[in-house]
Amino acid sequence: MATLEIRDLHVSVVTEDEPKEILRGVNLTINAGETHAIMGPNGSGKSTLAYALAGHPKYQVTSGSVTMDGVDMLELSVDERARAGLFLAMQYPVEVPGVSMSNFLRTAVTAVRGEAPPIRKWVKEMKGAMSELDIDPAFGERNVNEGFSGGEKKRHEILQLGLLAPKIAVLDETDSGLDVDALRVVSEGVNRYKSASTQTGEGVGVLLITHYTRILRYISPDFVHVFAAGRIVESGGPELADELEANGYERFTGAGATA
Ligand code: ADP
Ligand code: MG
Ligand code: MG
């Protein structure tokens, strides 16, 4: 059973001046089969957490630890983290000019599975996964993220999620820029992968990072954490998201907040 453990994580962003501390002691444990939502105001450091987990060079871990089943993730390269079963969908996925989606995904799947899927099997697998997400078959021939709309980028992320079959998935602002239909398709994709992973064994652990509560109507979290000023300031069940929906983040950021 996969467990991701984040312990007293401190992260600074490297800027032109001096490094600025953004994460100030994040503690979080995600077990197989659990869905955790991190919610917080803009600028509180949510994406910084995702980037630090992804190993982005601009985000420097100054202390604390991130382990998966006891293995130090911070010592691993970006590829090694993916092979270990950690999946990170980024808020702003990068463009890869000159590389088709189909080739990009096959390379990613090869890296994670340790062997290249046979081409005919692969084409079938990819087409099946694409049709489940209402993705146009022509998508496979387009360059990675080049000229993709916000919704297409998000569908691409969830397509990757299903094909890479990670143990722990970190989804940053998967809901941003989606209209209601796209949000439903993307959420159904996440839920389909959640239940598929449960059937084949341990169940994926999901960390859903979001500013808005609306995606939580489609993907129900087991735990909700409020993020403010670089750390988790409160944790609870789904009812905490309802409270945030009603009252916003003021209790956590205004005068008297504990952050
Ligand atoms: P959130 O995702 O919660 O909106 P971010 O993690 O994007 O928050 O940002 C947290 C803080 O870190 C902000 O003050 C932001 O300006 C700063 N920050 C994040 N990334 C960078 C960067 N690459 N360069 C400079 N500042 C950054
Ligand atoms: Mg600390
Ligand atoms: Mg963000």
CATH of the domain at 236: 3.40.50.300
Q: Is the dihedral of CA 238, 251, 53, 71 positive or negative?
A: negative
Residue 107 lies in a domain: no
The Å distance, Cα 110 to ligand 1 centre, comes to 33
Distance CA 117, CA 34 (A): 29
Structural domain contains residue 108? no
Whose C-alpha lies nearest to ligand 1, atom 6?
45
Is it the case that residue 156 has pLDDT exceeding 60? Answer: yes
* Cβ-contact 46, 172 below 8 angstroms: yes
Domain range holding 35? 3-96+150-253
Closest protein CA for atom 25 of ligand 1: 15
CB of 111 closer than 8 Å to CB of 165: no
Is 258 inside a domain boundary? no
Least confident residue range of 7-21, 87-101, 137-151, 237-251: 87-101
Q: Does residue 185 form part of some domain?
A: yes
Is residue 117 one of the residues assigned to a domain? no
Q: Does any domain span residue 136?
A: no
Q: Which residues line ligand 1 (CB under 6 A)?
A: 13, 15, 22, 40, 42-48, 58
Evaluate if residue 90 carries a pLDDT over 70: no
Domain count, the chain: 1
| Other beta carbons within 10 Å of 208 | 23
Asked, for residue 144, whether it belongs to a domain, the answer is: no
Q: Both ends of the chain: CA-CA distance in Å?
A: 33
> Average pLDDT, stretch 109-136?
91
Mean pLDDT within 48-64? 93
Could you list the beta-strand ranges (E) of 92-197.
Answer: 96-100, 143-144, 168-172
| Mean residue pLDDT across the chain | 89
Q: Residues 169, 10, 95, 213: is their CA dihedral positive or negative? A: positive
**Average pLDDT, integer, range 90-119:** 81
Residue type at 50 in one-letter notation? A
Q: Which residue in the block uniquely carries the two structure tokens 């001096």?
A: 18
Using the predicted structure, report yes or no on whether residue 135 has a pLDDT greater than 70.
yes
Q: What's the rounded Cα separation, in Å, for the pair 70 and 6?
A: 11
How far away, in angstroms, is 43 Cα from ligand 3 center? 7
Cβ-count burial of 193 within 10 angstroms (0-12 exposed, 13-18 middle, 19+ buried)? buried
Is residue 89, in this structure, part of any structural domain at all? yes
Long-range CB contacts (within 8 A, 24+) of 118-125: 125/163
100 pLDDT band, cuts 50/70/90, is confident
pLDDT band at 259 (very low <50, low <70, confident <90, very high): very low
CA–CA gap between residue 10 and residue 15 (Å, rounded): 16
Instruction: Please state which of the ranges 73-77, 141-145, 242-246 shows the lowest mean pLDDT.
Output: 141-145
Give the per-residue pLDDT at 182: 83
Of all residues in the chain, the percent with pLDDT exceeding 90 is 58
Q: Which ligand gives the minimal distance to the CA of 174?
A: 3
CA distance 166 to 149: 25
Which range is least confidently modeled, 73-87, 163-177, 216-230?
163-177
pLDDT digits (tens, 9 = 90+) for 189-228: 999 999 999 888 789 999 999 988 889 999 999 999 999 9
Q: Is the pLDDT of residue 44 over 60?
A: yes
More reliable by pLDDT, 157 or 231: 231
